[in-house]
Amino acid sequence: MKVGVIVFPGSNCDRDCFYVVKEVLKEEVSYVWHQEDALDEFDCLILPGGFSYGDYLRAGAIARFSKVLNSVKKFADKGKIVIGICNGFQVLLESGLLPGAMLRNKNTHFICRYVYVRVESNRSPFTNLCREGQVLKIPIAHNEGNYYIENSRLSELKSNKQVVFRYCDKEGKVSLDSNPNGALYNIAGISNREGNILGMMPHPERCSESILGSQDGLLIFKSVVKWIQNNKGDKTPKIQIL
């Protein structure tokens, strides 16, 4: 498997993602500068966290216009795997690759701490090694993670099984108290309708080694590795998420 980590001016989790793929997963990985456009060699792209373009205007709003994003769209249209983490999620929302938008955290603070998320569906390329309802301990670090989408579109997300992760407590109970940022329906991560693009606010690359307090992030990366190995050679892999 070969992973491309997209680097925007202001990305700051690119090295963590690179490190996890290379040193923990032992897979091939390269950085992709935002002005590049050749992505054919990759099986999976990661849009990392950070503050692309200083979060000017809105988080992710400017990165959407970078050259590489056109290629990311084409890459995703082929059914290949794209993961947006934190700011990467915000970029995917602003570019329309995922539905919805991010508001400022309900408590107006930048929140940086471990949270729990519940795996809503394990029939995705990103969660196939998890149990349905499994609770993952993953850190968040963001100012705009208050996910919003119109009510009618939220119903669509639910019926299409696009909600991948929801904030919950240690026992897996989803409640207002376990919602760190005010996100609608406690949404921490969603996929596109086809299921090959994931956006998530928590940082799996920050919890992929036991020394860091949790290895739950590895489940997500290893799920992707497994899914790609199973679909190797298939030019238009079909993802069955329903």
Residues carrying an active site annotation: 86, 203, 205
| Least distance from other proteins to the Cβ atom of residue 91, Å | 13
Question: Around 23, how many Cα atoms within 13 Å sit in the side-chain half-sphere?
Answer: 9
Give yes or no for residue 100 binding other proteins (CB under 8 A).
Answer: yes
Which residue lies nearer to other proteins by CB, 1 or 149?
Answer: 149
Choice from 70, 107, 175, 230 touching other proteins (CB under 8 A)? 107
Q: How far is 188 from 199, CA to CA, in rounded Å?
A: 8
Choice from 22, 24, 73, 101 touching other proteins (CB under 8 A)? 101
Give yes or no for residue 111 binding other proteins (CB under 8 A).
Answer: no
Q: How far is 40 from 38, CA to CA, in rounded Å?
A: 6
As a whole number of Å, the end-to-end CA separation of the chain is: 26
Which residue lies nearer to other proteins by CB, 105 or 223?
Answer: 105
Binding mask 31-70 for other proteins (x = CB under 8 A): --------------------------xx--x---x-----
Measuring CA to CA, which residue among 164, 196, 186, 158 is closest to residue 77? 196
Residues 174-203 that bind other proteins (CB under 8 A): 182
Q: How far is 100 from 190, CA to CA, in rounded Å?
A: 10
Q: How far is 153 from 187, CA to CA, in rounded Å?
A: 13
Give, in degrees to the nearest 5, the angle at Cα 232 between 6 and 43.
5
| Segment near other proteins (CB under 8 A); pick from 1-9, 93-101, 129-137, 231-239 | 93-101
Choice from 15, 73, 104, 193 touching other proteins (CB under 8 A)? 104
Size of the site for other proteins (CB under 8 A): 18
Choice from 87, 95, 105, 186 touching other proteins (CB under 8 A)? 105
SS3 111: strand
Question: Does residue 88 contact residue 72 with C-beta atoms inside 8 Å?
Answer: no
Q: Which residues contact 171 (CB under 8 A, 6 or more apart)?
A: 135
Binding mask 118-157 for other proteins (x = CB under 8 A): ----------------------------x-xxx-------
Structure tokens at 69: 């994003």
Q: How far is 68 from 200, CA to CA, in rounded Å?
A: 20
| Segment near other proteins (CB under 8 A); pick from 101-109, 112-120, 204-212, 233-241 | 101-109
Point out which residues bind other proteins (CB under 8 A): 57-58, 61, 65, 94, 100-101, 103-108, 146, 148-150, 182
